[in-house]
Chains A and B, each alone.
Chain A
Amino acid sequence: MSRAPLPYNRKILELFRNPKNLGKMADATVTAVAGNPSCGDMIIFYLKISDEDVIKKASFESYGCAANIATSSIVTEMIRGMKLEDAWKISWKSVVEAVGGLPSVKFHCGILAVGALKRAIRAYYKNKGVSPKWLSKEQTFEEKQALEEEELAEILTKRMKAEEQK
């Protein structure tokens, strides 16, 4: 293993400096969180969804590194005006592509952003009380990864507390 400085590209730098769709949305139809601050990254998506299941507006807030901010921001750009069924098909790889590539150690940022998006879509249909055929019952890769990171953070925090009590 070796270390190198994070070679963020121009697009990521731009989204980090001037994030698009940043901020809480007061009239959001649904919100979803992914990540855990103990791991150093957490995001929240706010989606305004029409009765026809189209994403009218999307915004985000982020606690995390530049890649976390950039991938969250790009997802909100990608899904605006999209039908939920199409937004569901977005993979973390397409997010990485959309930001012009990420260092491999930062892939999890793209995964987390898509994980949060999928959680939001799931939550929306749960609130609505319908389950479209295309919405898989089983957790997607990104949702599973988000959950894994959150659980890992809890394990580490618990371990720390146990050390303190020793």
Chain B
Amino acid sequence: MIENIKELLKAHKGLKREVYLDIENSSITPKEVVDAMLPYFNQRAYGNPTLTHKPGWEAFETVMKSSQKIAAFLGCKILEEVNFTPGETEANNLALMGAAIPMKGKGKKIVISEIEPLSVLHIADLLNKNGFTILKIPIDGEGFISLEKLEEAVDKETIIVSLSAVNHEIGTIQPVKEASEIVKDRNSETVFHVDASDAYGKIPFNVQDLNVDLATISSYKILGPRGIGALYVKEGVSVERILEGQIGTQKLWPGVENTPLIVGFAKASELAFQNFEENVSHMQRLRDRLIDGIIGKTSDVMLNGPKGDKRAPDNVNISFLRCEGEALTIELSLNGVYVSSGSACTRRLLQPSHVLVAIGRKFVEAHGSILMKVTRYHTEEDVDYALEVISKAVERIRGIVGSMEVK
């Protein structure tokens, strides 16, 4: 297997340009972030932040300062509302499982949407197997939740509502504020959780303005290092640990804090919020250049998700008809453009992306989908190169389909 991978990598030699657009699945850590992290591996603050020695106190100070920065960007009241976890997956699991346990006596109903990430859907399945009822709010063709259905769904029995602020695949910006008002109006005790992994650092997101109880954020989605994320827990809302062990500075996640990653997450947050408007409009410009370029150059394509201001500034998701996604991702990779697909083949599952199916895409449309996210580091030249490569790749793959009818 390793031998084959070696050959695959060899096939990429001599690329004239490389454009990484698969921010959904992992990201390149910018030099500023790496530089900020490096001293914390071996020069300072390498101690355990709960211990009584200099490297420990340094680590404590560092973790607290980082929490403070992130707390400020989120609009927290106090820094203790930021709870570091190893990432979005863990924060979402903690939010649902950890909030459901203390609420058990108050009701059994958990409300989510059909297009949540798997870390919400799968933990919801597990809770369902353990006696909780899961209700999924339907969405429309652009991925927006139905607020009427949300209102109908939330009742005295509802203990948690969990919604993504921005859909991770199709970039739909949900009406979180309206949703929060509805939820609190229907049942003031319901815990309102928002997965803000694709919102934080990309659209205005303030936990107090939006009146949310729990919010997940992820480091790599804002170009911080992988392996770190956080769950915002509003002061007074009870969440229980879902893992047990030695408790450190983080009351909801046992184990030794990873100070360098926490520093990297804080640094990435600073960079995302520095010149926030400028960063956002840069991403929007590149996003639209990519979308318009593909639609203009290639026939039989469909944009997945909404257009304009209701779409996350970085998200591009397009279905290429008569073009299977796995073949397309490989062809693009061989030409230096790195993306992911909602095809069943790349996901190694029987069915294509549940998000695309939920917005009404046929299987063949979902199999031909490509997901890309732009960052403030991408340039117009990157986008133009990607456009050129995509257009040629689609043409070649469609050439293999030839005269077959793909319906």
Q: Are A17 and B334 in contact (CB under 8 A)?
A: yes
A7 contacts B364, C-beta separation under 8 Å: no
A13 to B5, CA, bound (A): 11
- The interface-forming segment of B126-134, B143-151, B340-348, B381-389 is B340-348
Asked if B7 and A9 make an inter-chain contact with CB atoms under 8 angstroms apart, the answer reads yes
Residues of A within 8 A of B (CB): 3-10, 13, 16-17, 19, 22-24, 33, 37-42, 44, 61-66, 68-69, 105, 152-153, 156-157, 160, 164
> In the complex, what residues of B have CB within 8 A of residue A39's CB?
344, 350, 363
B326 contacts across to A, CB distance below 8 A: 6, 40, 65-66
Q: Which residues of B contact A164 (CB under 8 A)?
A: 360
Q: A7-B4, A40-B344, A105-B348 are in contact. Are A62 and B367 (CB under 8 A)?
A: no
B243 contacts chain A at the CB level, 8 A cutoff: no
A38 to B362, CA, bound (A): 8
Take A16-B330, A63-B322, A65-B324 as given contacts and tell me if A22 and B400 are in contact as well, using a CB distance cutoff of 8 Å.
Answer: yes
Say if the beta carbon of B327 comes within 8 Å of chain A. Answer: yes
Given known contacts A37-B407, A64-B324, A22 and B367 CB-to-CB distance under 8 angstroms = no
Residues of chain A within 8 A (CB-CB) of B351 are: 156
The residue of chain A having its C-beta at the shortest distance from the C-beta of B352 within the complex is: A40
- Given the complex of chains A and B, what is the CA–CA distance between A55 and B282 in angstroms? 58
Distance between Cα atoms of A10 and B6 in the complex (Å): 10
B166 to chain A, nearest CB (A): 25
- Interface readout for B316-337 with A: 1 if CB under 8 Å, 0 if not? 0000001011110010001000
Assembly CA distance A68 to B334 (angstroms): 18
Chain A: minimal CB distance from B357 (Å): 7
Q: Report the bound CA distance from A63 to B326 in whole Å.
A: 11
Question: Closest A-chain residue to B401, C-beta based?
Answer: A63
A-B contact pairs, 9 of them (CB 8 A): A16-B327, A16-B330, A22-B402, A37-B363, A40-B325, A64-B345, A66-B326, A68-B324, A105-B348
A105 neighbours in B (Cβ, 8 Å): 348
Q: What chain B residues lie within 8 Å of A3 (beta carbons)?
A: 348
Q: Which 6 A-B pairs have the closest CB atoms?
A: A61-B402, A7-B4, A38-B363, A65-B326, A7-B1, A65-B345
Set of chain B residues within 8 Å of A44, measured between Cβ atoms? 404
B135 CB, nearest partner CB in chain A, Å: 14
State whether the Cβ of B237 lies closer than 8 Å to any Cβ in chain A. no
Q: Which residues on the A side are within 8 Å of B330 (C-beta)?
A: 8, 16, 66
**Which B residues are in CB contact (< 8 Å) with A33?**
404
Cβ 8 A contact of A5, one of B5, B327, B400: B5
Judge whether B11 is part of the interface by a CB distance below 8 angstroms: yes
Query: How many angstroms from the CA of A42 to the CA of B141 in the assembled complex?
Result: 28
B4 close to A63 (CB less than 8 A): no
Question: A24 contacts B403, CB within 8 Å?
Answer: yes
Complex: how many Å from CA A166 to CA B348? 29
A6 to B348, CA, bound (A): 10
Residue contact A62 to B401, C-beta cutoff 8 Å = yes
Judge whether A62 and B400 touch: CB under 8 Å.
Answer: yes
CB distance from B253 to the nearest CB of A (A): 24
Q: Give bound CA distance, A9 to B401, whole Å.
A: 22
Chain A: CB-nearest residue to B405: A37
CA distance A145 to B316 in the complex (A): 37
Q: Which residues of A contact B5 (CB under 8 A)?
A: 5, 7
The answer to whether A7 and B327 have CB atoms under 8 Å apart is no
